[in-house]
């Protein structure tokens, strides 16, 4: 018996080495895929977007021997509507949280010093961003614009002393997060209102950003609002678009946890065969470990071609078929389909399913381990372990 336990430990160590190699391979594949795909996706779809607040530059002509001068001010009033539409894209082992954004802003400038003309500047979101249907309307009239130094620029005459009302809108696309910044450093925002609509429910905000002042569910998404009278802040508004379950990191997580899964399985099977006095040779355990490894190997190379759920179901069926069809010959249908089969469902399939939710996987596995310990302690409490090990010890002594 002691020799068999040592053999089981060696089989488990060999399987663990195989999973370490497979998990490392998955890690490298995922990193290489992410590096290549993120660059390509940024060019095709768009970068992470940060919309910076616009500015007004008022030009006051020379008069009475004085020089002309330009005064730059922030908006005295802002009314912004943002519609975020999550449209994720899958590339190999990773999903990317790509999105479309419809932006519409109405800004009012104050017109200090009775200026005669105004230059409106709206910074663009960065290199690689694309814009569609860009419109700028000043005091109710559409105006032509130019793109200069990464900004949309509109220059129009204004009436002396009257405020300037500018409406600007566009459609664009990005990936990861969408942000609205008031500018570098500490800035002021007066009479500010930003209303955001999402088509997704899993809202999250970047660290160090402003939380919405109101939140309301709307269908599958949210209606959020940031409303301030006089705001002084260095923090932006930022929405993190939710990610789908990532195939590559999930496969890595399941693979690296596989040794613990097999350890539980070997432990339970060993207890069952000891209680029922089934003669299961270490080579039989070797093939059971191979059926476990087949699950992870197949999952690693199908999860980037099939939906995660479909790949997981396929690998589960293949592994269960290998185990049950083998053990029915070794020890009969009852042991194969009931004891060993149910143990594999619990310690391979349900164990791996617990790893889908990374936040609660540790607790789920801990609860499963404690339940396993409780059940095995109860069913083995009356076993005389000295007697069970004695035949193996006697046989070893007789051989000498």
Domain membership of residue 36 (yes or no) is no
Domain membership of residue 135 (yes or no) is yes
Q: How far apart are CA 201 and CA 104, in angstroms?
A: 22
Same domain, 71 and 152: yes
Compute the average pLDDT of residues 145-167. Answer: 83
Q: Does residue 191 contact residue 77 with C-beta atoms inside 8 Å?
A: yes
Selected residue with higher pLDDT from 30 and 20: 20
Q: Among 193, 209, 240, which residue terminates a domain?
A: 240
Determine how many CB atoms are found less than 10 A away from the CB of residue 276. Answer: 12
Say what the pLDDT of residue 398 is.
41
Pick from 5-9, 117-121, 123-127, 311-315: least confident: 123-127
Domain membership of residue 213 (yes or no) is yes
Q: How far apart are CA 191 and CA 110, in angstroms?
A: 13
Q: Residue 399 pLDDT more than 70?
A: no
Say what the pLDDT of residue 139 is.
85
Q: Does residue 209 contact residue 233 with C-beta atoms inside 8 Å?
A: no
Domain membership of residue 37 (yes or no) is no
Q: Among 182, 216, 240, which residue terminates a domain?
A: 240
Q: Residue 103 pLDDT more than 90?
A: yes
Same domain, 235 and 265: no
pLDDT tens per residue across span 109-138: 876 666 777 888 899 886 778 889 999 998
Compute the average pLDDT of residues 260-284. Answer: 91
Burial call 307-321: b when 16+ CB within 10 Å, e when fewer: ebeebbebbbebbbe
H/E element, 16: helix 2-44
Say what the pLDDT of residue 68 is.
55
Domain membership of residue 134 (yes or no) is yes
Same domain, 280 and 157: no
Tally of structural domains, the chain: 2
Same domain, 178 and 281: no
Say what the pLDDT of residue 317 is.
96
Compute the average pLDDT of residues 71-98. Answer: 87
Q: Residue 39 pLDDT more than 70?
A: no
Q: Does residue 12 contact residue 282 with C-beta atoms inside 8 Å?
A: no
Q: Residue 158 pLDDT more than 80?
A: no
Residue 75 is given by DSSP the state -
Selected residue with higher pLDDT from 99 and 397: 99
Same domain, 259 and 287: yes
Q: How far apart are CA 334 and CA 337, in angstroms?
A: 6
Compute the average pLDDT of residues 54-74. Answer: 68
Residue 284 lies in domain: 2-31+246-399
Q: How far apart are CA 226 and CA 97, in angstroms?
A: 23
Q: Residue 31 pLDDT more than 90?
A: no
Say what the pLDDT of residue 159 is.
74
Same domain, 340 and 278: yes
What percentage of the chain carries pLDDT values higher than 90? 52
Average pLDDT, the chain: 87
CATH code of 122's domain = 2.60.40
Compute the average pLDDT of residues 38-64. Answer: 77
Record the pTM: 0.78
Compute the average pLDDT of residues 99-114. Answer: 85
Determine how many CB atoms are found less than 10 A away from the CB of residue 287. Answer: 15
Domain membership of residue 333 (yes or no) is yes
* 358 Cβ contact partners less than 8 Å away, ≥ 6 residues apart: 253
Q: Does residue 65 contact residue 46 with C-beta atoms inside 8 Å?
A: no
Domain membership of residue 342 (yes or no) is yes
Report residue 43's pLDDT band, with 50, 70 and 90 as the boundaries: low
Selected residue with higher pLDDT from 149 and 98: 98
Say what the pLDDT of residue 36 is.
67
β pairing state of 49-52 and 177-181: parallel
pLDDT tens per residue across span 188-221: 888 999 999 999 999 999 888 999 999 999 889 9
Say what the pLDDT of residue 396 is.
46
Going from the C-alpha of 140 to that of each of 62, 78, 137, 391, the distances in angstroms are: 28, 16, 6, 98
Same domain, 278 and 172: no
Radius of gyration of the chain (CA): 33
Same domain, 145 and 176: yes
Q: Among 185, 209, 240, which residue terminates a domain?
A: 240
pLDDT tens per residue across span 338-383: 999 999 999 999 999 999 988 788 888 899 999 999 989 998 888 8
Same domain, 282 and 306: yes
State residue 239 phi and psi, 5-degree precision.
-110, 130
Domain membership of residue 39 (yes or no) is no
Same domain, 138 and 277: no
Same domain, 389 and 355: yes
Q: How far apart are CA 296 and CA 20, in angstroms?
A: 11
Say what the pLDDT of residue 212 is.
93
Same domain, 267 and 126: no
Report residue 391's pLDDT band, with 50, 70 and 90 as the boundaries: low
């Amino acid at each position: 018996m002691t020799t068999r336990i040592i053999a089981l430990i060696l089989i488990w160590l060999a399987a663990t080495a195989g999973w370490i190699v497979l998990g490392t391979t998955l890690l490298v594949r995922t990193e290489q895929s992410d590096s290549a795909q993120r660059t390509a996706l940024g060019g095709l779809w768009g970068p992470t977007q940060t919309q910076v607040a616009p500015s007004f530059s008022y030009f006051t002509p020379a008069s009475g021997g004085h020089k002309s001068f330009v005064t730059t001010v922030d908006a005295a009033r802002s009314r912004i509507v943002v519609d975020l539409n999550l449209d994720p894209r899958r590339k190999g082992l990773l999903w990317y949280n790509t999105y479309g954004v419809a932006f519409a802003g109405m800004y009012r400038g104050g017109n200090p010093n009775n200026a005669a003309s105004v230059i409106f500047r709206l910074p663009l979101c960065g290199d690689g961003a694309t814009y569609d249907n860009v419109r700028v309307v000043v005091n109710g009239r559409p105006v032509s614009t130019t793109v200069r130094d990464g900004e949309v620029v509109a220059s129009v005459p204004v009436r002396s002393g009257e405020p300037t009302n500018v409406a600007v809108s566009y459609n664009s696309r990005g990936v990861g997060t969408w942000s609205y910044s008031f500018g570098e450093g500490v800035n002021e925002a007066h009479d500010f209102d930003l209303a955001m609509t999402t088509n997704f429910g899993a809202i999250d905000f970047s660290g160090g950003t402003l939380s919405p002042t109101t939140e309301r569910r709307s269908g599958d998404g949210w209606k959020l609002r940031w409303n301030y009278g006089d705001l002084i802040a260095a923090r932006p508004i930022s929405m993190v678009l939710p990610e789908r379950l990532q195939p590559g990191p999930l496969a890595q997580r399941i693979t690296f946890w596989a040794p613990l899964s097999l350890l539980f399985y070997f432990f339970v099977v060993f207890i069952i065969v000891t209680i029922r006095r089934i003669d299961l040779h270490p080579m039989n355990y070797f093939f059971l470990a191979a059926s476990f490894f087949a699950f992870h190997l197949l999952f690693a190379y199908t999860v980037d071609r099939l939906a995660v759920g479909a790949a997981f179901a396929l690998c589960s069926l293949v592994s269960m078929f290998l185990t049950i069809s083998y053990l029915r010959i070794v020890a009969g249908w009852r042991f194969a389909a009931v004891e060993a089969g149910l143990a594999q469902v619990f310690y391979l399939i349900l164990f791996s399913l617990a790893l889908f939710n990374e936040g609660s996987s540790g607790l789920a596995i801990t609860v499963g381990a404690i339940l396993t310990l409780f059940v095995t302690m109860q069913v083995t409490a009356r076993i005389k372990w000295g007697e069970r090990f004695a035949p193996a010890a006697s046989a070893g002594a007789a051989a000498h």
